[in-house]
Amino acid sequence: MNEQSIKNKNAWEYRAYEFWNKRDGSPMDKAKEILENPKASLKKHQQYFDKIEGKKVANLCGSNGRRAVPLSLLGAEVTVFDISEENKKYALELAHCANTSIDYIVGDIYDIDLEKYKNSFDILYLEGGILHYFNDIDKFMAILFSILKSGGKMILSDYHPIKRCIGSDFKYTPNYFDNELHNGELAYKQYFEKSEQQKFPDVYIRHYTLSEIINSVLKTGFTLNSFDEHRGWNNENIPWEFTILAMK
């Protein structure tokens, strides 16, 4: 595990289980919400998951299982790969409360057993803003390509690179092409009291431009089927996220 991964594991195992309970409710409460309409829990990505019964799905950096569990309820065989034991704890409790099951592998994505998982999955699902946790996007994409079956598809949704240039006041900060590794705040520490926030460890991240992301997908060998940009979470007229659909 490299320095970046060690720092990110340390960060994401600091009170993450407590955070998920704060934000999403207890695993039982979250399970009840998902069971009402599992497909709706996939939000804007519902269209990619028609007829997935029996399909093998890898949910990379699947955090607390909020996407893996509904996919399992829809009939898929789901394996989560994530770096945090605290995320795993919530996810497995969530699956149990929803009366379903998922596999959950804790470790560095860079260290996935490619002998075991080569050509294993029909679908790769990555969402929620994860690319900045990997300082070598080409190596990361090569791993994804390796574990996907021929004819399989990758759904990759992440923060739009322009998002980091727009502050909460909607003023522009000219840092789009910055590419160095740097410390960043753990995404969920604002859910805790200010007096506690200074104790939270930082994550270690590397941002990418849109061209770096798309070119890495292409040169790895994926066929790009579609690229969609999404508005802000409150329907602001700015690009906030994107989704790539690519095939092997």
Residue 240 within any structural domain of the chain: yes
Residue 168 has pLDDT above 80, yes or no: no
In a domain, 160, yes or no: yes
Tell me the three state secondary structure of residue 242: strand
Residue 42 covered by a domain: no
46 within domain boundaries? no
Strand order in the sheet with 121-126: 103-106, 77-82, 56-60, 121-126, 148-159, 241-247, 223-230
CB 151 within 8 A of CB 124: no
Q: What 8-state DSSP symbol labels residue 166?
A: B
Model confidence at 170, in pLDDT bands (50, 70, 90)?
confident
> Residue 127: which CATH number?
3.40.50.150
Is 47 a member of any domain? Answer: no
Q: Is residue 75 part of a domain?
A: yes
In a domain, residue 129? The reply is yes
The pLDDT value recorded for residue 236 is 85
Structural domain harbouring 134: 3-36+52-247
pLDDT tens figures, 15-26: 999 999 999 999
Calculate the dihedral angle through the C-alpha atoms of 37, 88, 28, 188, rounding to the nearest 10 degrees.
Answer: -90
Q: What's the pLDDT tens digit per position in 49-92?
A: 999 999 999 999 999 999 999 999 999 999 999 999 999 999 99
Tokens of 242: 């994107």
Does residue 201 belong to any structural domain of this protein? yes
Q: Tell me how many domains the chain contains.
A: 1
CB burial string 178-201: b at 16+ within 10 A, e below:
eeeeeebebebbeebeeeeeeebb
